[in-house]
Structure 1
Amino acid sequence: MKKILFLSVIIFSITQSAKSQDYINPLDFRLQLSGTFGELRSNHFHAGIDLKTKGVEGQKVYSIADGYVSRIKSSSYGYGKAVYITHYDGKTSVYAHLQEFSVKIDTIIKKQQYKREKFDINVFLKKDSLKVKQGEVIALSGNSGSSGGAHLHFEIRDTETEHPLNPLNYGFKVIDKISPLLKQIKIFDLIDGKSEIYDIKKLNNKYTVKDTISTNNKIGIGIYTYDQSNDAYNKNGVNKIRLYIDSTLIYNFELDRLDFSKNKYINSHIDYEEKVNSKRKFHRCYRLPNNPLKNYKTLVNNGHINIDEDKIYDVLLVVSDSYNNVSNLNFKLKYADNKFVIKTDSLTNEKSQTFYWYKKNEFSDKNCRISINKNYLYETIDFKYLEKDSISATFSNIHQCHYDIIPLHKPAKISIRANVPSYLKDKVYIAKLKNDKYYYFGGKWENNFLTTKIGEFGDFAVVADTINPTIKGVNLYPGKTIKKQRTIKYIIDDKESGIKKFTASLNGKWILMEYDHKRNLLNYNFNDLIVKGENIFTLEVEDMVGNLRNYKAKFKY
């Protein structure tokens, strides 16, 4: 019986993908998903799968096959601590948000960190210089970088192109018998830019909306949907969406492979305005003008649907996950003029200018200028600008540069005129104002204008930061005698412009302090730089505009 079961696993692996190798799981317990490949994330499609680690850090992480370590990464953000293993079948596996590396991997990266005197580094290794075997423990799982909780981020990449591939096509078994959940559809009027949302209901195991939806004569369709797997009820991403009009396939979107160079085009794929306003992420089942994604396997007329009068159209949406669990939605469309919700009119004092996605755009007013290069927008927009009065904390008026419901693919250049006292000129920056908070975007002086790059639209002004960062000891203070303690921990913070860098030393020599930005925590693990008797620890923290805080503590060990 065990042999039959083993054989069935082999057959399943082969049917999952003809290219699938004899990979083993990266964890030594049943795989449960907290995130799927291609899932809709902030500014990117998810490049791998997230695997639950029983809610804790420190689980053993295994190499899925023989290979060699080709890259080791350490960062306070993003992937945190990560290992890249190149295999001999043309694939590379990636393991991220780790707590710690195995000894032989850790030795290499720490040597480079001390050599460069930096925590955030990338180390690239030559082929076969650090080999690993299948099943070898390469790390412990963690929550490092921008991770929001203990888990293992796992990827399979094509080694030559570095394109991420769907790991669930390579034999990694997850128990999933649940079909995607369909929640809402959205009908977009592609002439007037209006839209309307319709709730999807499930009755007698069948998804429905109102029987016939009335629309204007050129529309696009969007859908809010997500997936779940057994025993792990996270709202994960779906794998494939197909749209049929009168039984003809006009749209087929499939997440089988990604391209990092095009990953931010997710903001043209989703309904970005809805994401900002309601946090719901609708897939557009049509394509905006500036969207080069290759995941549209079928796309007729860019997914645009022309609705003729006196005709009823049958619509079928088919949504599936990586294990071919499928959900269908059938409904009908017909023509009816002026059916859509009317958008709120712009403010009467706003200045307006058409910005074209396919060429460079420049706007200039007395106290504000903005420049956007070609292809930095996803579609042509009616750019709106309004100069508002300053408030007590700003050194300029507030400049409304369009609305943050419209995404920028790459940063625009903004320049704001400001009258700043000479003694504060090196302490000011351009900030985005939202919800009574200031968000740092930097700035350099060009004559009387402060200039920087902004990655999003919104309200901007010039503000100052004259407050030094703060340093607070967690387990060390001046005069302390240490006996059993094996770490030094400090909390560093800056509530104005934010922390730019820090430097720590022990007895005059640079030491590696790992930085967890989520907790503002610095941590040094004792090594041979600590000595018996008196030690001197120093820490310098600098914020984004150059304010400094220095700290010194003598202690005995």
Structure 2
Amino acid sequence: MRQTLFLFTLLAAFFGHSQEKYPKDYFRNPLGIPTILAGTFGELRSNHFHSGVDIKTQGREGLKIYAAADGYISRIKVAQFGFGKAIYITHPNGFTTVYAHISKYADKIQEYVKAIQYKKENYETGNLFFKPNQFPIKKGEVIAFSGDTGSSGGPHLHYEIRDTATEHIINPLFFGLNPIDTNPPLFQDLKIYPLNSNARINNKNKSTVISLNSIEKGQYKVGKITASGAIGFGVNVFDRLDKATNKNGIFSLEMLVNGKRFYYHDVETFSFPESKFINLLIDYPHYIKYKKKYQKTYKDDVNKLSIYKDLVNNGKLDILNGLNYNIEIIAKDYKGNASYLKIPIAGTENNTIFMQPADTTAYKIVAKNFYKFTEDNVTVAFPKNTFYEDLYLDFKVDKGVAKIHTPTIPLAKNFTLTFNVSKYSEAEKKQLYIANVKNAKYPRFQYTRKKDSTFYTTTKTLGNYALMSDTHKPKVNVLYFKDNQWISKRKTIKVKISDIGSGIKNYRATLNDEWILMEYNHKKRILTYNFSDKKLVGSKHIFKIVVSDNVGNTNTFSTTFFKKQVN
């Protein structure tokens, strides 16, 4: 009886703490429509975990966004990429909510932000911070309207909840946001890895992809596999919520070995600095080559993610000859819907049929050391701990292309790439820039710093780089009207800009010699000015825009139109 009472008290304390930790009824739905997710918290993205949930907006922009609870606007940011237009609300219960990719702010906020933009003569505001008494907000108050700004793949609301003190991001579903999800995750396939030179999988020292047999909904299995030595597993798995076709991330991944937990992680919370370790959670080389993400059920020693729990030998298995192992990998979504993958392993002797060739090159990297190498006027410099582990680095220069290993190796830090450009004339130098030439047909501009006879850039991506020349000025086309045309009914000026070389760096537009705010949709490459920003005087007006690319090529375009102010 005493033990039962103790257990009840312990469980009550645990659930009470969880309820206090994450209040379920404090925050309301930030939209006035049913919650359907296009993206889940902790979802695997390129080089980072998804830091919030993406709420569908029925494919539309302009839906009202409501403050999730009382508080005050503590930060606003307008950026071309990333979150685009974002708003941060700090709440008295110790949490901050974030709303991103919005199209515009509510009137009083929009007026303030536009005043800053016109003062700076810049679309991007940087971070604007506010005191509690500047923009107090009530729960349910309209703060903004949904949109597609920044690095968004379509109209939706990106919504986050953060711990105000620590800036840790927390899964919003813990706070009562409640999308419908009755479907278990879907396993796609399995990959098995030999973790040292003595390990074997089906008599090969080579990672192997295994097809799955679907027994029934949520139940999968594979045929018997022979193995020996240290091995690990990776799974390609996703979740699909009700009323949505998106392939979303799972909440937790677990591995049992003969019924005992050897591996577990979930995405309840994480910090921004640790997000980069996603490249050690997944099979990064496979992702770079094939754009398919395998989540590993073992942890690399240098992986500092905080999401792991209950690891035995970091999830790595040591398969012994003559023993059988029943492996079960379990994937769950936040609602607890689960899928099970069963893997029978038979321990066998090491009878090698295939072995991976040893990797040896001229450049041996010990991860904890600094290295600097030069070949044919190209220098690479790697700070200490740029690499997660020791390796042999491939580095050569062939016909002006610096080939720096392959992009399949994840890096913890930026390295510096420097080109000696002393052989070029000053005129030629102005047109040159460093580019990633993984795709020779579409070189990708790297931010290039120019200093006398050297050009350099920093990057976290290995691969092929070269000096490229851009002699073409950007293209500018005004849409929907021609020079000297009356456009009295038009509410906006729209301009399409593009560049075939180094890419657009900046633009500056004026109307009757006064700077005007043009919002840039980089996905459509269209700039838009709204006539409601400024009152027109007279009927004849001159619009001018100057567009520059990343090496300084500039196109100046000017046109005259006629329009009377319409109140």
TM-score between the two structures when normalised by the length of structure 2: 0.90
Does 1:421 pair with 2:414? no
Percent of residue pairs identical: 35
Q: Distance in 2 between matches of 1:339 and 1:160?
A: 55
1:108 maps to what in 2? 112
Does 1:402 pair with 2:408? no
Whichever residue aligns with residue 405 of structure 2, its letter is H
SS class of match (1:539)? strand
Q: 1:157 aligns with which of 155, 162, 183?
A: 162
Does 1:469 pair with 2:479? no
Q: 1:55 aligns with which of 39, 56, 59?
A: 59
Per-residue CA deviation, residues 145-191 of structure 1 (Å, 9 max, x unaligned), is 11111111111111111211100111111111111111112111111
Per-residue CA deviation, residues 174-218 of structure 1 (Å, 9 max, x unaligned), is 111111111112111111483111122211346333332223411
Residue 16 of structure 1 deviates from its aligned partner by 11
Residue 84 of structure 1 deviates from its aligned partner by 0.9
Residue 230 of structure 1 deviates from its aligned partner by 1.1
Structure 1 residues 150, 214: CA separation in 2 closer, same or farther (over 3 Å shift)? same
2:280 maps to what in 1? 268
Q: Distance in 1 between matches of 2:314 and 2:523?
A: 41
Q: 2:305 aligns with which of 288, 293, 313?
A: 293
Residue 45 of structure 1 deviates from its aligned partner by 0.3
2:517 maps to what in 1? 512
Residue 18 of structure 1 deviates from its aligned partner by 4.8
Residue 490 of structure 1 deviates from its aligned partner by 0.5
SS class of match (2:336)? coil
Contact 1:200 / 1:207 at 8 angstroms: preserved in 2? no
Does 1:178 pair with 2:164? no
Does 1:197 pair with 2:209? yes
Structure 1 gaps, min length 5: 1-10, 390-396
Whichever residue aligns with residue 333 of structure 1, its letter is I
1:328 maps to what in 2? 340
Does 1:355 pair with 2:365? yes
Per-residue CA deviation, residues 494-529 of structure 1 (Å, 9 max, x unaligned), is 111011111111122211111111111111111225
TM-score between the two structures when normalised by the length of structure 1: 0.91
Whichever residue aligns with residue 161 of structure 1, its letter is T
SS class of match (1:524)? strand
Structure 1 residues 342, 493: CA separation in 2 closer, same or farther (over 3 Å shift)? farther
Residue 530 of structure 1 deviates from its aligned partner by 3.0
2:153 maps to what in 1? 148
Per-residue CA deviation, residues 246-287 of structure 1 (Å, 9 max, x unaligned), is 222221111011211221221121111111122111111122
Question: 5 Å matches for 1:201-280?
Answer: 201-205=213-217, 207-280=219-292
Structure 1 residues 16, 343: CA separation in 2 closer, same or farther (over 3 Å shift)? farther
Residue 142 of structure 1 deviates from its aligned partner by 1.0
Q: 1:503 aligns with which of 502, 508, 523?
A: 508
Does 1:376 pair with 2:380? no
Q: Distance in 1 between matches of 2:547 and 2:239?
A: 44
Question: 5 Å matches for 1:447-458?
Answer: 448-458=453-463
Q: Distance in 1 between matches of 2:262 and 2:248?
A: 25
Does 1:549 pair with 2:555? yes
Contact 2:231 / 2:317 at 8 angstroms: preserved in 1? yes
Residue 93 of structure 1 deviates from its aligned partner by 0.9
Residue 99 of structure 1 deviates from its aligned partner by 1.3
Whichever residue aligns with residue 81 of structure 2, its letter is Y
2:30 maps to what in 1? 26
2:121 maps to what in 1? 117
Contact 1:274 / 1:281 at 8 angstroms: preserved in 2? yes
Whichever residue aligns with residue 55 of structure 1, its letter is G
Structure 1 residues 58, 425: CA separation in 2 closer, same or farther (over 3 Å shift)? same
Whichever residue aligns with residue 556 of structure 1, its letter is F
Q: Distance in 2 between matches of 1:130 and 1:340?
A: 70
Structure 2 gaps, min length 5: 1-14, 198-204
Contact 1:196 / 1:341 at 8 angstroms: preserved in 2? no
Q: Distance in 2 between matches of 1:143 and 1:445?
A: 35
Count of aligned pairs: 536
Structure 1 residues 79, 202: CA separation in 2 closer, same or farther (over 3 Å shift)? same
Per-residue CA deviation, residues 517-547 of structure 1 (Å, 9 max, x unaligned), is 1111111111225323222221111111111
Q: Distance in 2 between matches of 1:249 and 1:143?
A: 43
